[in-house]
A and B are shown apart, each in its own frame.
Chain A
């Protein structure tokens, strides 16, 4: 049965919910690490975190309740209580409940500054990460704890990276140039060793999920190859930030701030596309059998 408009709509919701979830959690991680170095931009970044969390909740809940429409191939599935119950009792239902609870904690954490808010937000991020590990292809793997831990680490670093793009844009726009330069360099120095770990963890997960090398040429394998290619382009842009724009901004070149903002927007769109693509493809394809 081919994809119909209804499938495309529901999968579109899934893709958007992935982007919003990673954005919301990522902004909180950014605030947790860099909040003490922000002055002019802190309120707007926190507000963005709040809005992203609310949008992520709305998209996740809407997606969850529209999944039965895909089950039945008609919008009537949304109103079918037995389908909704089937979904709610499944791993996916439990995982999305945990995810929404985690997002609610992020909403609270982004409301105002404080130690309790930071702890609550961190708990929220952990719940969101765990929700991804307790559903999907990792749960049926014989080494589920190992693959699940790798997935949590992989997604956590993606959250840190993707979630930082918009805050960095705001920092480059609103903060004093010296402060912006110092923060961008600090971010780049963390990202320099942490972001390549996305690839390392991703490769290890792929080795565990794919039975043979030739599995890379199945639809699921091609998804992985496409992600690796996208990651390569992104690493090039990240290197540009680190070695070209960061030092120039620190040296007081205001024009580099504008260039950095442009690069950050491009990076945001690239990672958002990869997240959306992953969300759609993992709903449609599974790793080949071992």
Chain B
């Protein structure tokens, strides 16, 4: 039986701790989806801008960040609809340590 759509991978992943803020947010789903809503709340409840929502259905969706990241905790919330119009949604928490000019290092939580 074919199950409903689900998120299989994301960058940043949930609970990730990043040295620098990501340049883009990437969501990978088990089937093609239409991303219908996304928001990123920064430290102090500040809403950060993300690139426009794609109008086509796709399995991999990436959105370019339009603002710099300040150090702190972030909450990414999203909603997507599969071909069966079943709504899937989720939250991704991640933290940005803030930093130096060194290249971005992604620190993932231990499995």
Contacts and interface: CB of A to CB of B under 8 A. Distances in A.
Interface in B34-69: 34, 36-37, 55
Interface stretch (A85-93, A121-129, A159-167, A249-257): A85-93
A256 to B, nearest CB: 48
A74 B1 contact: no
Contact of A72 (B1, B77, B79, B83): B79
B2 interface: yes
Contacts of A286: 3-4, 86
Interface string B78-111: 1101011111011100000000000000000000
Contacts of A211: 1
A139 B3 CA distance: 11
A71 B111 CA distance: 32
Given A1-B91, A70-B87, A86 B3 contact: no
A140 interface: yes
Interface residues of B, number: 20
Contact of A71 (B3, B4, B83, B87): B87
A260 to B, nearest CB: 42
- Please classify how large the interface on chain A is, using the bins under 10, 10 to 19, 20 to 34, 35 or more: 20 to 34
B89 A1 contact: yes
Nearest to A10: B87
Contacts of A115: none
Contacts of B91: 1
Most buried by B among A92, A141, A289: A289
B84 A140 contact: yes
A245 B52 CA distance: 65
A67 B77 CA distance: 19
A289 B1 contact: yes
B81 A71 contact: yes
A180 B104 CA distance: 80
Contacts of A71: 36-37, 79, 81, 87
A86 B87 contact: no
Contacts of A283: 87
B10 to A, nearest CB: 14
Nearest to A89: B85
B87 A289 contact: no
Given A1-B78, A71-B81, A90-B84, A142 B36 contact: no
Interface in A47-96: 67-68, 70-74, 77, 82-83, 86-87, 90-93
- Closest 8 pairs (CB-CB, A-B): A1-B89, A71-B36, A289-B3, A90-B85, A73-B37, A140-B2, A286-B4, A290-B1
Given A1-B78, A83-B36, A286-B86, 17 more contacts: A70-B87, A71-B37, A72-B36, A73-B77, A73-B89, A74-B37, A90-B84, A91-B85, A92-B85, A140-B3, A209-B1, A211-B1, A283-B87, A286-B3, A286-B4, A287-B3, A289-B1
Interface of B: 1-4, 34, 36-37, 55, 77-79, 81, 83-87, 89-91
21 contacts: A1-B89, A1-B90, A1-B91, A68-B36, A70-B79, A71-B79, A72-B37, A72-B79, A73-B79, A82-B55, A91-B84, A92-B84, A92-B85, A142-B1, A211-B1, A283-B87, A286-B4, A286-B86, A287-B3, A289-B3, A290-B3
